[in-house]
Amino acid sequence: MRDHVDFVAPSRGDWGLRIVVEYWSADSTGNARVEAFFRVRLGRGPFSSASGAPGPVVTPAVPCGPAPTRSEDIVLALTTGGSDPVPGVEPGDELPVVVVGPGEAIEIAVATSACATSWTIDVGTADSSTTIDGVPNPADDPASAAQNRWRFTLLALDEADLVVSARFGPSVLVERRWRVTGAPFEVPAAFVVAADGRRAEAHPGCGLGLELANGFSMEDECGSIGYDGSGARFEVDAGEVVDLEVPGWTIVRWTGQCGQLTEVDGVNVFEYEGCGLGGFAVDVGASAPPARFLLPPGDRIVMLLITATTLDGDRFTVPYFLPVSAR
């Protein structure tokens, strides 16, 4: 909370400046949000101007539909990940909840393709609010700016309110809202398959690395291996060749070790016992061979570090754990 704000001025030129200020009310009557526009000239001048009429700042994604005459007639719908469009609601109504997958693009569209001439798109949580898109267009001149589709992504999304304020010409103003929640990446199931067809699902640990075809990427930061040693032991014959599978994915890199879990300062640690299970790394464009290994006699914990991909270009890396008994 401040009574003044300093900011770095832009370079020399003739600029339009938009300032949005939110005032906090100590008597709990609610916050006040003020938006103002200024023309700022920096430098000694003279400032050159393009000959003829200036080009538009924003052009519409699709041709503009009929201009609305009432705000009630305007439907803004949000779509993400191939879902059905979800219309936004006015302030005070119960917010529709939209689940957004990692890195999925969000598109907001005007149902009739009518073009807004100025707008702001804000994403807010209980602690902060950020404007992710906005065009002022003080005169609301459609020749200067017009849009009926907005597409963007929200990174590191947990839960937030998405608010679109749009003006359609000088007299029609609408505000529509949604609540968006981020869906975590579901680590694919990995199986160890015995020669007789029996299969056991391995337990994913901590340390997920993710690269999706839509450009999203992440890496988990871990304070532990993310596995507590639970789960039934998978029984196989000592020296029996077993397969490693991740249904729906192609394993392009893996390494395996066997050992035991020990506790250090209250945290489980995987202790390698000199038992390597092999692995491979596939060159780009090469075909992946079957992922197979065999187990020496004894009761152990198997750790399998797997990297797998899909034809669409998604890629993940994560360690899996499985208690085994080889006789």
3-state secondary structure of 128: coil
Backbone torsions φ then ψ of 73, nearest 5 degrees: -85, -5
Rounded Cα distance, 142 and 67, in Å: 11
Q: What pLDDT score was predicted for residue 32?
A: 58
Give me the sheet containing 191-193, strands edge to edge: 199-201, 191-193, 241-245, 291-294
Q: Give me 92's structure tokens.
A: 């005070």
- Tokens 């680590």, located at residue: 187
N- to C-terminal Cα separation, the chain: 68
pLDDT at position 48: 56
For 260, the 3-state DSSP assignment is: strand
Domain boundary assignment for the chain: 52-182, 191-326
Low-confidence ranges of the chain (pLDDT < 50): 28, 50-52
Distance CA 165, CA 285 (A): 47
- Tokens describing residue 238: 């000592």
Look at residue 179 in the predicted model and tell me its pLDDT.
96
> Phi and psi of 217, rounded to 5°?
-145, 155
Q: Give per-residue pLDDT as tens, 100-136.
A: 999 999 999 999 999 999 999 999 987 888 999 999 9
Looking at domain 52-182, does it have CATH number 3.90.320?
A: no
